[in-house]
Structure 1
């Protein structure tokens, strides 16, 4: 499962560094779609920045979409066959908390605008760091980094503690400007670390969905900064969208994709009419469907029913749902998940599993 033990990790010993003494291991790659990970002293190195946010994010789909999408962007610049993924170790938790705060006398490093919560919106909601390493003479050396910035599309605030929650829709032009300005400031700060002075650093900007959205947000821009550049430039627009099916509006959804899902939904509802709901999140890149996650909520609990239903869902999915894209189907009730089905890109058949309680 693990490759050879690394005796020394490269770098100095400052608190933002990934360097340390012996006991570092690299998890062997089992699938070319996944990065090798890093274990230190028997523990997986978790990100120091992930999960830190300005305020509680009520839409967990934002967090999931942010993390998964950031990984996809990183793979375009740091191939899984050439790099080892070390979750962010250079920006520690306290630093992230300061950066996510408002700029003030007490917090000069704050990346959100100075001012009162009722007047000035917060733009930067969350951030994540991914480090990309290579092995060199039994040591890990950082060769690249990706920074994801999660930006609010709606600013939620209270006028008094525990009072009513108000909201303000933020303009796209302001979101874009703020995101790029923040990326520039972070890039300049990272370049002060001599380990990060000459590596490529990728920034990706993510527009978060509203709290009541049934899908997560979308990455809308990225920038690759090579060498010792201290200004983030050459921004590339990203056409990535998530839609809920059945769709309230067909705008942005391919008609064939929507028809395929409707046929699938109608067939399984005919077979088991006591379903609470069948919905899907469709993931599009450059107007092309790249993946689908389907949730089916049931009202039955019998084991034989669940097994029969799961088998039927598999048959209908293979018959009606689009081919050549990854699809996950989750069947659940108020009791929890009952079964799931999954198909990878290029596969014809679904892998299925029915949960059994003993």
Structure 2
């Protein structure tokens, strides 16, 4: 029997250490995984945050919508892209509590299904939600009423699985339709009256519910909330808003429609706008704008989008455009803007202020509801 030399002993010790470290690493990784993730049948959930939904992660990645990208490419005003989906999620919270449900991006309506729904009805597409083309090119033409739609799913835990417990479908309706009389020709605009838009939305809502319930995994009694959104005009500086909602408890039946009182307006208001909505906010913003304009000589403009719910201001987003020549100018101006905003702009509502030069963002100031100061971020 051969004797093991010194080098042999060293090799054995090193091998044992490697094995020991590997075992410790294995148990440590598994322990961390089990304590930091919440696994449910092959999926994970993000950590819970007060007032926000837990969301679904699959294979280590966020579970994106099956019809991802359609809203962003179909909406003509970029402001509607964000407002449509974020406002829909806010609306969903009134039906599905964040403490009881898990949010999942829409998984039942595929991209091809949504695309078919958004097209005109025709001999080759019976699913089209928009009316058939009547061949007219004037105000008597059948416009495109439905611009886009999106699905949001709300899940509950069922043992080790996730179970679909409810859905919210947002439908973006046009207030105007842009079209061409000939390919590559001039673009024309056809306005759609509120009455026509509302009536057409109610008409096609059961068709949407029917199509959703046809999808595998959606039961006949899954609660489905459908919410109608009025798009803004293409050149509007304010986004559109949700104006009505209804719920289907089973089949394609819908409960009575409920009005949603939301409105976004641009400040300063135009002289032709004689409505009382936002008058107080408009005055306070005018004082803010004058104050910062007097402080800094190169102000190119300042505007705000004020959001209202049931006639009450709910949030404000301010954009100040100017030209800076040094980092100290940006920092000094941002400090002054935060002081002026505290003095003149409405209190107790979330306010976000963006300071930019041309298309380059210079600083962001954020004050959440109840905060007494702004959090300022200077961008290099």
CA contact (8 A) 1:50 1:128 kept: no
Task: Give the equivalent residue in structure 2 for 1:203.
Answer: 226
Quote the residue 1:16 is aligned against: none
Provide, for residues 252-301 of structure 1, a one-character-per-residue CA deviation record: whole Å limited to 9, x for no partner: 43322111111111111111121111000000011000000001111113
Q: Deviations over 1:147-199 (max 9, x none)?
A: 00000100110011110001111121110111112211111222234533212
TM-score (norm 1): 0.90
TM-score (norm 2): 0.85
- Equivalent-residue separation in structure 1 for 2:278 and 2:153 (angstroms): 36
Equivalent position of 1:220 in the other structure:
243
Q: Which moved more, 1:253-262 or 1:38-47?
A: 253-262
What is the distance in 1 between the residues matched to 2:47 and 2:253?
36
Q: Note if 1:5 corresponds to 2:42.
A: no
Moved over 4 A (4+): 53-56
Alignment of 1:278-357 (within 5 A): 278-334=302-358, 336-356=360-380
Larger Rg: 2
Conservation of the 8 A alpha-carbon contact between 1:158 and 1:165? yes
**Which residue of 79, 83, 86 corresponds with 1:68?**
86
Distance apart, 1:55 and its partner CA: 7.5
Alpha-carbon shift at residue 216 of structure 1 (Å)? 0.9
Shift of 1:56: 4.7
**CA RMSD of the aligned region, Å?**
1.8
Structure 1 residue 121 corresponds to structure 2 residue 143: yes
Pairs aligned (count): 339
Unaligned runs of 5+ in 2: 1-34
- Map 1:1-358 → 2, pairs under 5 A: 3-7=37-41, 22=42, 24-30=43-49, 32-52=50-70, 56-116=74-134, 118=137, 119-193=141-215, 195-226=218-249, 228-248=250-270, 249-334=273-358, 336-356=360-380
Relative to structure 1, the CA distance from residue 221 to residue 50 in structure 2 (aligned partners, 3 Å threshold; closer, same or farther) is: farther
Secondary structure class of the residue paired with 2:316: strand
Structure 1 gaps of 5+ residues are: 8-21
Residue 13 of structure 1: aligned partner: none
Q: 1:301 to 1:51 in 2, by over 3 A?
A: farther
Of structures 1 and 2, the one scoring higher in RCO (CA 8 A, sep 6+) is 1
Distance, in Å, in 2 between the alignment partners of 1:57 and 1:95 is 18
Alpha-carbon spacing, 1:132–1:53, altered in 2? closer, same or farther (3 Å): closer
**In 2 relative to 1, CA 335–97 (structure 1 residues): closer, same or farther, beyond 3 Å?**
closer
Q: Report if aligned partners of 1:100, 1:125 keep a CA contact under 8 Å in 2.
A: yes
Contact 1:206 1:217 in 2 (8 A): yes
